[in-house]
A and B are shown apart, each in its own frame.
Chain A
Amino acid sequence: MRSSYAMNFLMGIYILVFFTYLFGPLIIMSFTAFNSAEFPAITPWECFSFRWFNEGKIAYDGQHLAGLLTDWRLHDGLISSLIIGAGVVCLSVPIGMAAAIVLTQVKSQLRDIYYSISIMPVLFPGVIIGISTVVLWDRIAGLGGGGFISDVGRNGIFLTILAQTCFISTYCFLIFVARLQRFDQTQEEAALDLGASQTQVFFKILIPYLAPAIASAAVIAFLASFENYNTTVFSILSDQTLTTVIASKVRLGISPALSALALTIIALTVIAAVTYEILRRRQERKYLESQEEFVKEKAASSRVNKDYKAGFKVPKGIVALILLVIIGSYVATQIVKNDLYGNSCIEAADTLKKSKFLDQLQTLESNQLSDEDLQGGSLGGNQDYGDIFGDPTLFQDFGGFD
């Protein structure tokens, strides 16, 4: 018995470590969104501020760091991401549905091949899907000459919708296949026996049955499109989506505005997940209650029919919520008391940094180099590099970047 306790203990620790690995980075990133420093960090904590959610700041060395509200590139990217997401949903949900329904009608010998082709796009690396779409449409646009076709073929948003539809259709396909496996064929037969046409069966029986799958496929398709980078970065051409904007920002230098963006997305995700979970539980409870009513009606004996009251129970969630509020208010008061929030704190930090910066500038300027130093002397001088591009044979043996 002892060993099983030890096992459980180890298992508990492992689960804790695993979820720390999953959530730790996200939580730390969320904290960095509130640090007013230019670099997303926790330990040199400057001031508590919401500036990265609002207007950002102009750094002490004159660099402009935009916050979420003022960053127009992010806004443009968001808009094109939404357009692309809508386009992908409109294309991939019908395609996935059609492919899944046809799968049930394909002969069994062909089913494996058909299935393999359908899931193939998921296994293709995303970059390849993006590249192949771009090269094909570049060719089509080239053949089309001027006018509409060439405009369409060089439109990044259009190409991205096509490229993403290629593999997101498979996600939808899989969702529909899972739902169709539980479909009762006799419903269709009953409708046909009662004189419905095939088209009517499709619209009155199959579509209503698939409605939950349509909804979840649409959500999944939109999310997959919204967060895709590997394919989009090729097919978007000269336009920008949210992900490509984020990528270029990360590459140019990381700013806490990205932490703020991430925190916003995390908050939306958590709210969506919690709402979904609550709705699901409520539905489940309703279902159980209706079952209970059914049993009560059926049962004539008064024993079952007797109403019983459950004892008053405090839900665990509320305890956690109260704890959170207490901790949160304590932290907030401490922050305000120690002057870690507000303009005075930020000003103090900025002047400190500015003076450091000025000190450095002054030391640099005081290090005046004499002509001797430049001509050789103690520092090595710049003579060796003086006429480097005057040499006509310089690039002769250079194979190029090829």
Chain B
Amino acid sequence: MKSLFFTQPFFQKNGKSVALFFLVAIVFWFIFLVIIPQLYMLDLSFRANIPPLERGGPKDFYTLEHYRHFIFGSKTSADAYNFVDLGVFGRTILVSIFVTIANLAFCYPIAFYIAKIATPSTARLLIVSLIIPFWINELLRSFALRILFANEGVINNVLTGIGILDQGILFITYDVGLYTGLIYAYILLMMFPLYNAIESLDINQIEAAKDLGSSTFRTHWRVVIPHAKPGIVSGCTMVFMLTVGALATPVVLSSPNTLWFPQLIYQWFNLNDNWSRGSAYSIILLIVSVVFVLTMMRIFKVRIGEIIR
């Protein structure tokens, strides 16, 4: 087994006690914290929702009921499909794509500036000031935006106070606050992979392109972006996955009549006490988002190993 997995015999290489520690730590993590819980959740998502006492009894059988519910709705409803849940899901995915693209567009100029144009001390200062907001709780950051965007919030009060508007704009109701908050929430996770990728580009390549008469836009399109592709992909992957699974920002900023998909999961889980259905919805979220990311990676021809480096 040792020579199967490792370059050198594992126990000899590390000494017995240390090797044992490594093995225990890794097995504990991979098997016990990552794999078994996911598998058990997968199992639970195929079971009927029953109280704990009836487990193993006649009502404890495998069923596709929860997945059926996601697509077709409850048996008593008149609609052919479960438009509510499907709508929430589709909206979550679409908005997440939009948020990812917006993040990329916002971050690219800044990342390029810090990596290639700014002097080292300016770059250092900018990086530190980029990090500071992200040490503050995601909830509190969303709360800050809520103060701005609330119907009686700062923006509305200022605009009506100056006299530009007669009535405040309903930022929260139209989910403007939510979209702004989602873009705000994970922008750093786009910035750093991008910065790292652009930083490793040799400045001579850019200058060579310029000397050969390429326009600024063309230089970026043909030289910088191809070089930064792994960074772009890893940034996009992280932002997309985190946005799809975001719960804190929607809890604070989404309007009362729209839901974010993790909020739906939360409702099944904590408010309706239907753990099986909550698990099924989680599995759906996980599979669809992972498949989406893998498809994108296939399209843009990036290997998974290149992500997060």
Task: Tell me if B153 is interfacial: C-beta within 8 Å of chain A.
Answer: yes
Task: Tell me if B137 is interfacial: C-beta within 8 Å of chain A.
Answer: yes
Chain B interface extent, by class: 35 or more
Task: Tell me if A363 is interfacial: C-beta within 8 Å of chain B.
Answer: no
Task: Give the contact stretch, choosing among A107-115, A328-336, A345-353, A364-372.
Answer: A107-115
Task: Tell me if B255 is interfacial: C-beta within 8 Å of chain A.
Answer: no
Chain B residues near A139 (CB-CB < 8 A): 40
Q: Are A106 and B245 in contact (CB under 8 A)?
A: no
Cβ-defined partner of B40 (8 Å) among A22, A25, A135, A200:
A135
Within 8 A of B (CB), among A5-41: 7, 11, 14-15, 18-19, 21-26, 28-29, 32, 39-41
Beta-carbon nearest neighbor of B55 in chain A: A142
A169, B33: Cα distance in complex, Å: 10
Cβ-defined partner of A41 (8 Å) among B37, B147, B275:
B147
Chain B residues near A198 (CB-CB < 8 A): 12-15, 18
Task: Tell me if A322 is interfacial: C-beta within 8 Å of chain B.
Answer: no
Beta-carbon nearest neighbor of A261 in chain B: B140
Within 8 A of B (CB), among A367-381: none
Q: Are A227 and B41 in contact (CB under 8 A)?
A: no
Task: Give the contact stretch, choosing among B201-209, B224-232, B262-270.
Answer: B262-270
Cβ-defined partner of A402 (8 Å) among B74, B157, B265:
B74
Within 8 A of B (CB), among A198-233: 198-202, 223, 227, 229-230, 233
Cβ-defined partner of A399 (8 Å) among B77, B150, B269:
B77
Interface residues on chain A, number (Cβ under 8 Å) = 95
Within 8 A of B (CB), among A122-166: 122-129, 131-133, 135-136, 138-139, 142, 162, 165-166
Chain B residues near A22 (CB-CB < 8 A): 129-130, 133, 184, 187
Q: Are B137 and A227 in contact (CB under 8 A)?
A: yes
Contact A131/B265 with A43-B157, A125-B289 known, Cβ cut-off 8 Å: yes
Cβ-defined partner of A40 (8 Å) among B8, B15, B147, B241:
B147
B77 CB to nearest A CB, Å:
6
Cβ-defined partner of B154 (8 Å) among A15, A43, A142, A273:
A43
Chain A residues near B26 (CB-CB < 8 A): 95, 98-99, 102
Task: Tell me if B161 is interfacial: C-beta within 8 Å of chain A.
Answer: yes
Beta-carbon nearest neighbor of B25 in chain A: A98
A43, B307: Cα distance in complex, Å: 46
Chain A residues near B55 (CB-CB < 8 A): 142
A400, B138: Cα distance in complex, Å: 35
Task: Tell me if A294 is interfacial: C-beta within 8 Å of chain B.
Answer: no
Beta-carbon nearest neighbor of B145 in chain A: A25
A162, B142: Cα distance in complex, Å: 27
Cβ-defined partner of B33 (8 Å) among A166, A272, A400:
A166
Cβ-defined partner of B29 (8 Å) among A25, A99, A133, A136:
A99
Within 8 A of A (CB), among B1-32: 4-8, 10, 12-18, 21-22, 25-26, 28-30
Beta-carbon nearest neighbor of B140 in chain A: A262
Q: Are B305 and A116 in contact (CB under 8 A)?
A: yes
Task: Tell me if B169 is interfacial: C-beta within 8 Å of chain A.
Answer: no
A234, B245: Cα distance in complex, Å: 13
**Which has the most chain B C-beta neighbours within 10 Å: A25, A44, A115, A258?**
A25
Cβ-defined partner of A254 (8 Å) among B141, B146, B307:
B146
Q: Are B135 and A223 in contact (CB under 8 A)?
A: yes
Chain A residues near B139 (CB-CB < 8 A): 229, 243, 246-247, 250
Q: Are A401 and B109 in contact (CB under 8 A)?
A: no
Q: Are A269 and B136 in contact (CB under 8 A)?
A: yes
Task: Tell me if B97 is interfacial: C-beta within 8 Å of chain A.
Answer: no
A201, B184: Cα distance in complex, Å: 46
B98 CB to nearest A CB, Å:
17
Cβ-defined partner of B136 (8 Å) among A26, A43, A259, A399:
A26
Q: Are B29 and A135 in contact (CB under 8 A)?
A: no
Known contacts A11-B109, A166-B33, A269-B136; 18 additional CB pairs below 8 A are: A29-B144, A95-B25, A105-B13, A107-B6, A122-B238, A123-B290, A123-B293, A124-B245, A135-B40, A135-B275, A136-B40, A198-B12, A247-B139, A250-B142, A254-B147, A272-B135, A399-B74, A402-B74
Q: Chain B: residues with CB nearer than 8 A to chain A?
A: 4-8, 10, 12-18, 21-22, 25-26, 28-30, 33-34, 36-38, 40-41, 44, 52, 55, 69, 74-77, 106, 109-110, 113, 117, 126, 128-133, 135-148, 150, 152-154, 157-158, 161, 184, 187, 216, 237-238, 241-242, 244-248, 251-252, 262, 265-266, 269-270, 272, 275, 278-279, 282, 285-286, 289-290, 293, 303-305, 307-308
| CB pairs A–B below 8 angstroms (7 shown) | A19-B129, A105-B6, A105-B10, A116-B304, A122-B238, A174-B308, A262-B137
4 A-B pairs closest in CB distance: A125-B245, A198-B15, A399-B76, A132-B37
